[in-house]
Amino acid sequence: MRADDPNVKWIEEPKLGLTGKMYLPLLVQGLTTTARHLVGPKITVSFPEVRHQPGNPLIYRGVHRLNKDEHGRVKCVACFLCATACPAHCIDIIGVESPWPDREKYPESFTIDELRCIFCGMCEEACPVDAIELTSLYDLTGRSREEMIFDKEKLLSVFDMTKDAEPMKSIQYGGTL
């Protein structure tokens, strides 16, 4: 970039008045602002004791869960749409023939690698039967990599954990059940 490039627009800085040039009044202003914040309300959340509540849990994207239907069976029909939509390729499904008459397939194994997941919510959008949803649980930790790969049982247990606090989104928004 050249300084006399006609495409470069040099912005005139605002002219300083005498107080600005004397600098001390502005110093006092800055110090007063800082000092006022010493005694203001604090915004820190002390995490393990106080748990931050996401504003609207229905649109918060935290840990996944696999929803169950009214018979306690997994809702997933192993259509692979979520795995296809996933940009991080973290969903791995093995679909087999379903033992139940209301669908053809069901997932024998359904694993999500939470370490690879970017929590974009695409799986949730892609699912035609609202089987996979993102909850508002955000403290996703584990002691090993293996522990962070969630299998079907774990994802279903997340549903059991959160079903009271967060109803299935489709019910509220008139989706499929």
Partner 1 sequence: METVVVALVKIALMIGGLMTAAAYLVLLERWIAAWTQDRVGPNRVGIPLTKFKLFGLGQPLADGLKFIFKEENTPAQVDRGLFTIAPIVILTAALAIFAAIPFGSVLPKDLGIEGVEQPIQLCVAPAFDVGIIYVFALSSIAVYGVILGGWASNSKYSFLGGLRSSAQLIAYELPLGLGLLGVVLMSGSLRLENVIDQQASTGVWNMFLQPIGFVTFVVAAFAEAARLPFDLPECEQELVGGYHTEYAGMRLLMFLIAEFLHMVTAAFLIVILFFGGWHFWGLTGSSKDEVTWFEAIMRVLVLQGKVLAVIVFFMLARWSWPRFRFDQLMDLAWKVMLPLGLVNLAAVAVLVEFGWDKAENKLGFSPVWAMAAMWGIAIVAWTIAAIFTPLQTDNRPRLEAISE
Residue number, 10 or 173, with CB nearest to partner 1 = 10
- Residue 18 Cβ, how far from partner 1 at the closest point, in Å? 7
Task: Say how far apart CA 171 and CA 130 lie, in whole Å.
Answer: 10
Give the span between the Cα atoms of 83 and 98, in whole angstroms. Answer: 19
Q: Which is nearer to partner 1, 39 or 164 (CB)?
A: 39
3-state DSSP helix/strand/coil percent for the chain, to nearest 5? 30, 15, 55
Nearest approach, Cβ of residue 102 and partner 1 (Å)? 53
d(CA 86, CA 118): 9
Reduce the secondary structure of 92-160 to three states and give it as a string.
EEEEEECCCCCCCEEEEEEEEECCCCCCCCHHHHHCCCCCEEECCCCCCCCCCCHHHEECHHHHHHHHH
Minimum CB distance to partner 1, residue 47 (Å): 10
Residue closer to partner 1, measured from CB, 7 or 176: 7
Q: Which is nearer to partner 1, 12 or 70 (CB)?
A: 12
Q: Nearest distance from residue 34's CB to partner 1, in Å?
A: 4
CB of 28 to partner 1, least distance (A): 10
Specify the residue, 49 or 146, whose C-beta has the smaller distance to partner 1.
49
Interacting residues toward partner 1 by CB under 8 A = 2-4, 10, 13, 16, 18, 20-24, 27, 30-31, 33-35, 37-44, 46
End-to-end C-alpha distance for the chain, whole angstroms: 60
8 Å CB contact between 132 and 67? yes
CB of 41 to partner 1, least distance (A): 7
Q: Which is nearer to partner 1, 3 or 70 (CB)?
A: 3
